Chains A and B, each alone.
Chain A
Amino acid sequence: MFSSQVFESALSISMFVLRILVPLLSTVVLVRCFVSLKRGRRREEPVVLLEDLASGLSIPVLYWENSIGRSKSCDIILPDSTCSRDHAVLYRRASGWIITDTNSKAGTYVNDKKIKEATQIIPGDVISMGSSRFALRRVSEGTVIQQKKKAKQPKISNKKAPSPTGLLGLTSVIHLLLTVQCCFVGGSFSAMPFIPFAALLAMSWGLYLISRKLLKRVSFEIETFGFLLSGVGIMLLCAEDFSLIYVQLASMFLGLCLFGFLIWFMGDLKRVMKARLWIAAAAIVLFAVNLVIGTEVNGSKNWINLGVASIQPSEFIKIAFIFVGASTLDKLQTAKNLWGFLGFTAICLGALMLMKDFGSACIFFITFIIIAFMRSGSIRTILLVLSGSALGVFLILRFRPYIAERFKAWRHVWEYADTTGYQQTKVLMYAASGGLFGVGLGNGYLKDIFAGDSDLVFGMLCEELGLVMGVVVIVAIAMLILFARNDATRSRSTFYSISACAAAGLLLFQTCLNVFGATDVLPLTGVTLPFISLGGSSMMAVWGLLAFIKASDERTYAVRRKGK
């Protein structure tokens, strides 16, 4: 009797220590991932030079895609009144350097021949725009003039970047610590949680070997990041109900396949730009199918039952949405209006409204704002869209007041604790019960509340693993915007920059809706928490979205040179 009490106390204290260790180590991994990404970033050095044949001075070409013109916003500014504001785009693809005219008045000439379409050029070729004439030179061949005052160079530290192997190793250690906690759920030992642990181990190191050894990719930060968070989610579910994890693990595997496929698919931007129309059409068809044969779950008709499994098409359409919205620089400079994308957005939002999936509608809307701004840079357009939609929301609430009823409990959840505030009060009650370090995996009660492991999962995370871990997880998702911004000018195309920023913004906004909705900071809308929530479609889509951020890292498509 006495020894069993001692054992219980010792076990309890060890579990408590593990619960303190997990967020600590996770923070280390996240910070090191970010540092590694920062260190791996290329310095802002010219890739090639444009030699001005009149003066003999060279203009550095800094980016993978460069707009050329009279406008101050161009990457290469021509102080030449005979040039158009946005004259041409000089960009690099796998085949080499390409120049394309972007509807300039005077036209663009390569070796004195007017070009009609994208034209490949090699060092030595002469490009004429208006009265300016340039020759393409290698960096070693010319003297660089500074276009503007010396751009501040990020300090490059001599310290070595964190080793990708070490970071993934530490991630596996975190998973192991969670697995051990899972083994002692209910006070007795069970080895079953090592099954999902082994699956996580196989998937993460499998992808690592393929990516680093087979494909010779240098970086692995984004993947490590995704594995860390997915593992936390899977262990949380494993402690709740072992039978849930098979679908979740399978979805994660499919998500990884989607991740790999999308990175391959985005390797050829010509292919992507051609496929965009088909992707848009497929998305609309999917929405239509959903509306016709979809099943209604908890008031939202956003599920399709496929017999063996149910899928939530709107999760996958998020990926399609970003494909349709993002664009390469040459396309941005020639087709400046947003009408096509605006129309597609309207169809998506309309379909989601018909499904009564307001949370997803908000997510699509915010993603639209991000993409629209990154494409146009026009604050006026954004304000116009925002005021238009505010009017729309006002009209909806004016004529359909029962929609507002759904949000009546917001900021008054304790008054509606038996009705519309029920879920939020349970989240607050149980999240607070966990304190900073939680009551332990599997010891929570929020999992017994409806949607406890999906819409309310942040509460479950806080209850079982503690507020600190909850904050680490959501701050990690927020850090994706830093990852995306880090590569915004370094990526191989504006397509990658825009899609990465859109994906990061989407994931962060979805996190805000989930976390703040469940904790009554915002009205409850019922969306999933990326990586953590139970839900196969969500898990797959999140890995798909990560592919955008991965693709924007220019190293993804670089082949490691031998000997380096």
Chain B
Amino acid sequence: MKTTGWRSLILYIIGAGFLAGLLFFICSYFIQGGSWAIRPSNAHITNDGQLAYSGEITDRDGNLLSYSRDGVQQYNDNALIRKATLHVVGDPNGYISTGTQYAFRTQLSGFNPITGVVSPFGNAITGSNIRLTVSAEMSAAALQALNGKKGAVAVYNYNTGEVLCMVSSPTFDPLNIPADIETNSNYEGVYLNHALSSAYTPGSIFKIITAAAAIETIPDLDSRTFYCSGSTVINGEKITCDGVHGTISFQNGLASSCNVVFGELAVELGRDTMTKYAEQLGCNTNFYLDGNPNKMSAYHVEEADDNALAWSGIGQYTDTVNPYHMMILMGAVANGGTPVNPYMIQSVTNSFGLQTKTGKASNGRQMLQPSTAQRLQELMRYTVSNYYGDGMFPGLQAAAKTGTAEVGDDKIPTGWVIGYSQREDLPLAFAVVVEEGNYGRNSAGVVANTVLQKAAALYT
């Protein structure tokens, strides 16, 4: 009989398995319960795939951007603001996956692990309210300045990390969804937030990365001179320049965006050094905005010959960069080499009035030596003041670099501008890209100036 006593301990093996499984399930519930429950097919919370009830999304000034009642998604009264903030807020069908409505649907729907998706009081649950760092008015100004062109605008405060403006075009009015949205080529890519989820050929703005590599690697860089005859031959093929710059220093080479200088520098630095610095400055890695990853910038010269390497150093070849990444890079330059991580969610406030999440400044990974950042600040400011002219950014003390990226034989180039304001009361870094914008200075530059002037008017 006593043997059956100890042999019955075998039951504890099953018991232990049961407890392990139960613990695993309960932990999963508390960690993932929200993402299990908040599904378009959950009949408790949705009505035809939309959140039946959700908290409010407001901009930094308290302007109401969106909420839903009885299964109907409501938006701001102003059509321009609706269109300008669409990619930040989200569309009624949840196609824009990086939009706040979709990415924060758990919080907006009011799920909590204690009461699930229902309220003990019997009334419809209202989820948390979300305040964004984004400015609706700046967004509207940015969209207007894009003037119907496809592109993206990203602006953030490089001291605090608050994203003030993130606009993507094409866009549409979520209250009047165009009937031909799936067929009209003007709406191609409309569900992507191009600032976060697209990458473009950079053109001359990539020279900032090549310049950073050169500053940190070549000791006598500033005492050197280069010679530009309008082109140079590398590995049997020409690298052409937009101008004939003659004998030229590194500083003026960057300011006048001389292809010969940066093509030769890229070859001199070599594949490994160029790749090392491109990656240190954020290519081939992801950046995140409140948990949403960006589209990675890509720099790959493993297969490139010297001529292609030269083109890669001036932002052509296979290079692609992401506007959000470029904005962070500018933040790093402005901030002495280490960027503050951007965020867009200012606060999440639940239905009891408690803030469950607040955006805070946090440092990202160091990208540049402080001395290099300092040198790039001088160079980019010099570029604006001595070449573009401060008339391009009146009163903003801007440091910037434009780009005009060739994207194919018969296509109009992509216009770029990246930079930041050195005004202490306007610590903003920006990246603007305009498809078919041609010269960056005339396309993206105008948009950037419009948005920053709006910011200066609103917040200083």
Contacts and interface: CB of A to CB of B under 8 A. Distances in A.
Given A65-B1, A75-B2, A511-B18, A433 B113 contact: no
B116 A374 contact: no
B114 A436 contact: yes
A366 interface: yes
Contacts of B33: 432
Given A75-B1, A435-B118, A521 B36 contact: no
B29 interface: yes
A445 to B, nearest CB: 4
A432 B37 contact: yes
Contact of B2 (A428, A440, A471, A489): A489
Interface stretch (A5-13, A129-137, A535-543): A5-13
A11 B423 CA distance: 60
B8 A512 contact: no
B113 to A, nearest CB: 6
B443 to A, nearest CB: 43
Contact of B43 (A73, A366, A445): A445
A358 interface: no
A366 to B, nearest CB: 7
A440 B115 CA distance: 11
Nearest to B2: A75
B26 interface: yes
Interface in A151-168: none
Contacts of B1: 62-67, 75, 329, 489, 494, 497
Contact of B18 (A373, A434, A478): A478
B26 A521 contact: no
Contacts of B111: 432
Given A16-B120, A478-B15, A511-B18, A516 B45 contact: no
B4 A488 contact: yes
A489 B5 contact: yes
Interface string A428-453: 11111111111110010100000000
Interface string A486-502: 00110000100110010
A429 B10 contact: no
Nearest to A434: B116
Contacts of B26: 467, 471
B233 interface: no
Nearest to A519: B25
Interface in B2-17: 2-5, 7-12, 14-15, 17
Describe A's contact surface by its main secondary structure.
helix
Contacts of A436: 113-116
Contacts of A329: 1
A445 B44 contact: yes
B144 interface: no
A8 B121 CA distance: 8
Given A429-B39, A435-B117, A516-B25, A370 B11 contact: yes
A361 interface: no
Interface string B419-443: 0000000000000000000000000
A497 B1 CA distance: 9
A217 to B, nearest CB: 23
Nearest to A11: B122
A65 B2 CA distance: 9
A481 B12 contact: yes
B41 interface: yes
A407 interface: no
B449 to A, nearest CB: 46
Given A439-B116, A516-B21, A429 B14 contact: no
B4 A433 contact: no
Contacts of A369: 10
A521 B116 contact: no
B18 A512 contact: yes
Contacts of A65: 1
B2 A435 contact: no
Interface in A500-543: 501, 504-505, 508-509, 511-512, 515-516, 519, 521-522
B121 A432 contact: no
B42 interface: yes
B118 A433 contact: yes
B323 interface: no
Contacts of A377: 3, 7
A11 B1 CA distance: 56
B347 to A, nearest CB: 24
A437 to B, nearest CB: 7
Contact of B42 (A430, A471, A488): A430
Interface residues of B, number: 45
Interface in A50-68: 62-67
A443 B118 CA distance: 11
Contact of B122 (A12, A425, A505, A521): A12
B270 to A, nearest CB: 44
A433 B117 contact: yes
Contacts of B11: 370, 481, 484-485, 501, 504-505, 508
Interface string A447-487: 00000000000000000001100010011001001001100
A485 B8 contact: yes
B112 interface: yes
A73 B4 CA distance: 10
A420 B19 CA distance: 27
Contacts of B115: 435-437
A510 B43 CA distance: 30
A8 B124 CA distance: 12
Contacts of A63: 1-2
Given A432-B33, A433-B42, A494-B1, A521 B8 contact: no
Interface in B92-147: 111-123
Most chain-A Cβ atoms within 10 A of its Cβ — which of B4, B10, B24? B4
Contacts of B10: 369-370, 373-374, 501, 505
Most chain-B Cβ atoms within 10 A of its Cβ — which of A67, A488, A505, A516? A488
Nearest to A509: B14
Contact of A494 (B4, B17, B41): B4
B334 to A, nearest CB: 41
A497 B4 contact: yes
Given A433-B44, A467-B29, A521-B25, A374 B14 contact: no
Contacts of B14: 366, 370, 481, 505, 508-509, 512
A373 B4 CA distance: 9
B45 A433 contact: yes
Interface string A263-281: 0000000000000000000
A320 B114 CA distance: 44
B3 A73 contact: yes
A485 to B, nearest CB: 5
B409 to A, nearest CB: 42
Contacts of A75: 1-2
B5 A429 contact: no
Contacts of B244: none
A99 B82 CA distance: 92
A508 B122 contact: no
Contact of B7 (A373, A478, A511): A373
B32 to A, nearest CB: 8
22 contacts: A9-B121, A11-B122, A12-B121, A62-B1, A67-B3, A428-B36, A429-B36, A429-B41, A430-B37, A431-B36, A436-B115, A437-B115, A437-B120, A445-B43, A475-B22, A478-B19, A488-B5, A497-B4, A501-B4, A512-B17, A512-B18, A521-B21
Across the A-B interface, give the 8 residue pairs with the lowest CB-CB distance, nearest first. A435-B116, A12-B122, A63-B1, A432-B37, A16-B120, A489-B5, A488-B8, A432-B36
Given A13-B121, A369-B10, 9 more contacts: A66-B1, A329-B1, A430-B37, A436-B115, A471-B26, A484-B8, A505-B14, A512-B21, A521-B24
Interface of A: 8-9, 11-13, 16, 62-67, 73, 75, 329, 366, 369-370, 373-374, 377, 425, 428-440, 443, 445, 466-467, 471, 474-475, 478, 481, 484-485, 488-489, 494, 497-498, 501, 504-505, 508-509, 511-512, 515-516, 519, 521-522
